[in-house]
Amino acid sequence: MKLARFMEEAYHGAARSKKLETRRGKMIFSLEDLADLVGDKPTRAEIEALVPSDDDLLSKLISTEPSGKHQLLWGYLGSILAERSAGPLKLSSCNYAGLELRRGTIILQAAGDHVGERMSGGRIFIRGPAGDYLGQEMSGGGIVTQSCKDYAFKNMRGGFGVVLGTAGNFVCLGKHGGRTVVRGDCGARAGWLMHGGSLRIGGDAGEYLGILMGGGKILVRGRTGKRAGWRRKGGIIQAGSFGPESEDGVMGLAKRMA
């Protein structure tokens, strides 16, 4: 098959009428082409200097599921397109959706890992479950999901996160700010090394809640597992009831919800 015919079929005629020309005058027809220019682990600034100004052409770049080594590229491009879109952008359930999102809205039916990582604004709505590292290092904006796996909102500094169902282990590990709500149960070591912000859990929390916590506030409507507040240096933990070996009477640890 001739190259011209191949490109016409691959891009439904777009290759003839419009080439994916970047701001530097280079042509990009796929994520592989973009990776050749910026590598597999670029910065957002490097990608912004190359992405097409035509939103329809940008949409073609993210229309198929990326290979493992091109997931970061796909994530950045999806965020850039969401920021340009007048309305919510629906994306496939791939890893890194909403990577460094600044504004706009993304809607996912389900989500992979690292969704909303380092986002500073905008909204992400996940109608199904999310994977690991949801909202990692986010500093603004908001995420709403039905459920999530481990390490949700790790190193969170701002914004809000809402989990309508259950969450896995290590929720809000290293959290410095922002608000997180888990309406159901969460797994072990929620609030581990937490320094600021708030975490509210509507159900029960697993063992070692708030381990090595230095600041912030954790509220649990149900019961905690064993050793809640273990080696806590600051912050407040309040719960309906505490499991065995929980720290008691140290730096304001309370036995009842305020």
As a whole number of angstroms, the distance between CA 156 and CA 173 comes to 8
Other Cβ atoms closer than 10 A to 64:
12
Place of tokens 């505490």: 242
As a whole number of angstroms, the distance between CA 9 and CA 222 comes to 57
Helix (H, G, I), strand (E, B) or coil at 71: helix
Q: Quick check: 211 and 227 in contact, CB under 8 A?
A: yes
Tell me the CA distances in angstroms from 16 to 7, 55, 64, 171, one per residue in order: 8, 17, 21, 49
Strands (DSSP E) contained in the chain are 89-91, 105-108, 120-129, 140-147, 160-163, 179-182, 198-201, 217-223, 236-241
Q: Which token pair is 87?
A: 């309305």
In the β-sheet with 120-129, what is the strand arrangement from edge to edge? 89-91, 105-108, 120-129, 140-147, 160-163, 179-182, 198-201, 217-223, 236-241
pLDDT at 196: 98
Q: Encode the chain (258 residues) as per-residue pLDDT tens digits.
A: 544 454 455 445 444 334 444 444 566 778 888 888 888 788 999 988 888 788 888 898 898 888 888 999 999 999 999 999 999 999 989 999 999 999 999 999 999 999 999 999 999 999 999 999 999 999 999 999 999 999 999 999 999 999 999 999 999 999 999 999 999 999 999 999 999 999 999 999 999 999 999 999 999 999 999 999 999 999 999 999 998 988 765 344 454 444
As a whole number of angstroms, the distance between CA 88 and CA 50 comes to 24
As a whole number of angstroms, the distance between CA 192 and CA 151 comes to 10
